[in-house]
Amino acid sequence: MPTFSQRLDAAAERNRSLLCVGLDPWRPSMPIADIAAFNRAIIEATSDLVCAYKPQWAFYESEGIAGLRALEATIEAVPNGVPVILDAKRGDLGNTSVAYAKAAFEIWGADAVTVNPYLGRDSLQPFLDYADKGVFVLTRTSNPGGADFQELAVRSADGEERPLYEEVARQAVSWNERGNVGLVAGATAPEELARVRAAAGAMPILIPGIGAQGGDLESAARNGADANGRRAIITASRSVLYASSGPDFAEAARAEAARLRGAINAELERMGKQWQ
């Protein structure tokens, strides 16, 4: 079984894309009522334009059991070869964490999952034990309140002082014994994203916050990509999913995804890191 990063790289190269589409069904914005059918149409229209999909757990759970069935159907609808990052921000301890890891990888069939670092390394070990799956650790999130704790200066065990999000990034790098750790850093804080990339080496970074949240696409690519101009997973959700509220929603989603991919690739060219 190839590792998550290998599957991510393969999809990115094949589709010449660092774009990830967030599958966030939000009823008030949806042009059709059936969540699974909506997602299937979005996936069919965009799967040759993306490096990954990212369903957000909350939007399925908030529809109850029927919503979670739609999540199952959605993950099933993603073609083999395009990894699925389940955005669930899990963080718990002991056998609870074992149960969460089993759920994400064995029940829902995700290729990777987002996790919250607040409970420390041992809380994430059950996820890290799945060597062929990806584990994305939150660092600096894309919301304004992310600053409340993540930007506080902490005194690290090495005696240095740095913002908490950067300490998290550094510790997460040290957890990457099996090559399956990634980081999450929001596009809305481009300087912090650059610092996270400096700590991360070539680890994949999941970058939400462009589009509706206001993050800048070009700086996300420039500050988020690794030295080879890769391993940034730049995520757009609402701007793609709800590009049109009419019956042409899938074509409109495709057009917006193509536009975003093109803008990212133009930035990669300016960096001298275009696709071969």
d(CA 127, CA 190): 28
Residue 63 vs 216, nearer CB to a second copy: 63
Task: Annotate 215-272 with DSSP letters as a single string.
Answer: B-HHHHHHHHS-TTS--EEEEE-HHHHTS-SSTTHHHHHHHHHHHHHHHHHHHHHHTT
- With 0-12 / 13-18 / 19 or more C-beta atoms within 10 angstroms meaning exposed / middle / buried, residue 157 is exposed
Residue 56 vs 219, nearer CB to a second copy: 56
Residue 4 vs 59, nearer CB to a second copy: 59
Residue 138 vs 260, nearer CB to a second copy: 138
C-alpha closest to that of 230 among 51, 49, 1, 46: 51
- Is 102 one of the catalytic residues? no
Q: Could you say which of 89, 102, 133, 273 is catalytic? A: 89
Residue 14 vs 121, nearer CB to a second copy: 121
**Dihedral of CA 210/82/3/121: which sign?**
positive
Which residues form the interface with a second copy (CB under 8 A)?
Answer: 24, 26, 56, 58-59, 61-65, 68-69, 72, 89-97, 99-100, 102-103, 107, 116-123, 138, 141-150, 152-156, 161, 164, 167-168, 171, 213
Q: How far is the CB of 143 from a second copy (least distance, A)?
A: 4
Q: How far is the CB of 171 from a second copy (least distance, A)?
A: 6
Phi and psi (nearest 5°) for 182?
A: -125, 175
Q: How far is the CB of 65 from a second copy (least distance, A)?
A: 6
Instruction: Collect all residues with Cβ–Cβ distance below 8 Å to 266 and sequence separation of at least 6.
Output: none
d(CA 137, CA 117): 6
d(CA 83, CA 235): 13
Catalytic residues: 89
